[in-house]
Chain A
Amino acid sequence: MSTPLRETRTGTPADEAAGWPNRILVAGTAEAPEITLTGEWSLRGRVPRYDAVAAHLAQARRVRVSAHELTAWDTSAVTFLAALVRDCNERRIPLDQAALPDGLRRLLALAFAVPPAVPRAAATRPGLLATLGQATLSIGRDLSRMSEFAGEIILSLARFTRGRARYRREELAWLVEEAGPRALPIVSLISFLVGTILAYMGAVQLALFGAEIYIADLVGIGVVREVAALMTGIILAGRTGAAYAAQLGTMQVNEEIDAFRTLGVSPIDYLVLPRMLALVAMVPLLTLYAGIVGILAGMLIAVGVFDVGAHEYYNETLTALELKHFAVGLVKGTVYGALVAYAGCLRGMQCGRSAQAVGEATTSAVVLGILLITISASVLTIVFHKLGI
């Protein structure tokens, strides 16, 4: 039996205050309710949601929806009606929407024109052991890709030495300029400051014995042998390694690297090797330069603050430094440079195809670069020690 409803206005008193009665009117019977949209429906004002009338449809067998003096409507009205349509569809109740304005009816038709895609199953979270296993396996995969990439670079180097690698000389020149001369200001600044710190640290201790003159030994050997190479390596990891990863990563996003492959041009020959060579060529020079700047900084402190004579400092430096110290520093610097370029190019070439992936590649290039520098620094220090150099 149908219960006649008197014309009701939806909503609680609080809703009344918000002005909903001016939006929806429900009339008709419980079995055949009639919903009328009225007034101004705007997302910028307050609008009722479908929940506000859902209760009136609980016993409905058919529903009629219409509009009366609907002065303005936007997405809010469409959202309301879409929920009504969906509810009626789910409950298999016929919905008569012929009396709706043309635009609203057509938008509703459009919204339900394409059946929704099956939503993806929510990814199940693996357990702790599974996560650990996955992480271990991914390290293994990463290591194998890293050695593969190193192998490709060596093959490319072989082609290069036989003059068979294809690359552009102007680009190599640009890369050399970018990696070398343009890094001079930052290398100068950092080496100077590190030289100052070393001199101060050493001088305070040496002053206890009245042996300030040995600042020259400490700074000279320390800077030339270890610190210049290390600082240059780290600066280049942040400066050039990151740039390589971002450049190659963006090229990957733009499918430029695929374009090289389809032309039969090896992207390793064309993009990676010139970057490796540019950096490896520039790093020894930068390291040497950083060493000299560091020594000058030490001298400035020793002479200016600790009253060591400039001439004495100069002589002491000459006595302390041997060719082997320079050799060790340059070998280390070159190795660091190669590793930084390798890390940058590797991560750039492995980059995914989105802005986020480029960011990740750049971050990862710097982290990997510094990690490789640190590992190789330890290994080389031990090797040189065993060799007695």
Chain B
Amino acid sequence: MTVPHIEVRDLTMAYGDYVIQRDLNFTVNRGDIFVIMGGSGCGKSTLLKQMIGLIRPAHGAVLYEGEDYWSAPPQAQLARQRSFGVLFQAGALWSSLTLAENVALPLQEFTELSGDFVTEIVALKLALVGLAGFEDFYPSEISGGMKKRAGLARAMALDPGILFFDEPSAGLDPLSSRRLDELILELRDSLGATVVLVTHELASIFAIADNSVFLDADTKTMIATGDPKVLAHGPVEKVRNFLQRGGT
């Protein structure tokens, strides 16, 4: 059996003594689009932050290719983080930099490419997300959907093996949201990256997810994992309700 790309093992998340989620166990296969779903406030974003190394879990392990992130030495953690591309909820573009500078920064920091090669790569990344020609714009000058796409271009700058998305469609109109879904699918198919995303948009979940985990705020643990199309008709009533009606 091959080692899964990502494995979350016995993970417990807590703020001090207050437990948010406990006993999380799931695996993400290479090249899958994996959705973390659940109602508001159940700890989806916190789980994502623990997976990408921003918040240390109270207990448990996050394994990448069989190696635990949190028990690795700092150098190894940094190297691992460099293989992540992260798109934050509001894009998190650096507001004092133009779009081109935003995308170029990781390339300048972590590669030794020449300046004009970086410029060429930046132009390509922006073109891939449909923002060709917007190099010299500042984040404050573009719309929310464009910020998300520019954030995606930055997340892809270093050709990451895993892309993480925190609520990619939040705040987007249905059409932009669908285009972003299609873009994520297209990028996964062509780059072969693994994608982990937090969302509660049903349309997105059904359109792109291969696999998923459902976090429940009441029992404070996961109550289902699997392909959402199967879970929608599965045995767990709460998950069925969520996936069929959008309520919890």
Residues of A in contact with B (beta carbons under 8 Å apart): 43-44, 49, 74-75, 78-79, 82-83, 102-104, 106-107, 110-120, 352-356
Contact partner of B140 (CB less than 8 A), chosen from A43, A107, A353, is: A353
With a cutoff of 8 Å between Cβ atoms, the chain A residues found around residue B134 in the complex are: 117
Q: Enumerate chain A residues within 8 angstroms of B117, measured Cβ to Cβ.
A: 49, 79
Q: In the complex, what distance in Å separates the CA atom of A107 from the CA atom of B131?
A: 14
- Assess A103 versus B189: contact at CB under 8 Å? Given A116-B133, A117-B134: yes
Contacts of A107 in B (CB 8 A): 128, 190-191
Q: With CB as the reference atom, state the residue of chain B lying closest to A44.
A: B111
CA gap between A107 and B159 in the complex, in Å: 13
Contact B127 A79 (CB under 8 A): no
> How many chain B residues touch the partner (CB < 8 A)?
31
Give A27 to B239 CA distance when docked, in angstroms: 58
B96 and A355 contact, CB distance less than 8 A: yes
Contact of B124 among A49, A75, A120 (CB under 8 A): A75
Question: B148 interface residue, CB < 8 Å from A?
Answer: no
Residues B190-244 near A (CB distance < 8 A): 190-192
Does B168 lie at the interface of the complex (its beta carbon under 8 Å from any beta carbon of A)? no
Bound CA–CA A49/B186 (angstroms): 25
B residues apposed to A, CB below 8 Å: 95-96, 111, 113, 117, 120-121, 124-125, 127-128, 130-140, 158-159, 183, 186-187, 189-192
6 additional contacts (CB under 8 A) given A79-B121, A110-B183, A111-B127: A49-B120, A82-B127, A107-B128, A107-B191, A111-B124, A117-B131
**Neighbour of A103 across the interface among B121, B125, B139, B192, CB < 8 A:** B192
A104/B190 contact (C-beta < 8 A), A75-B159, A113-B130, A116-B132 known: yes
Nearest chain A residue, comparing its CB with the CB of B138: A354
B191 — nearest CB in chain A belongs to which residue?
Answer: A103
List residues of chain A with CB within 8 A of the CB of B131.
114, 117
- Shortest B80–chain A CB gap in Å is 16
Q: How far is the CB of A290 from chain B (nearest CB, A)?
A: 38
Question: Complex Cα distance A82/B189, Å?
Answer: 18
In the docked arrangement, what's the CA distance between A355 and B183, Å?
A: 29
Contact present for A110 and B186 (CB under 8 Å): yes
10 A–B contact pairs at CB < 8 A? Answer: A44-B111, A49-B117, A78-B124, A106-B186, A110-B186, A120-B137, A352-B140, A354-B96, A354-B140, A356-B95
- A78 vs B159: C-alpha distance in the bound complex, in angstroms? 11
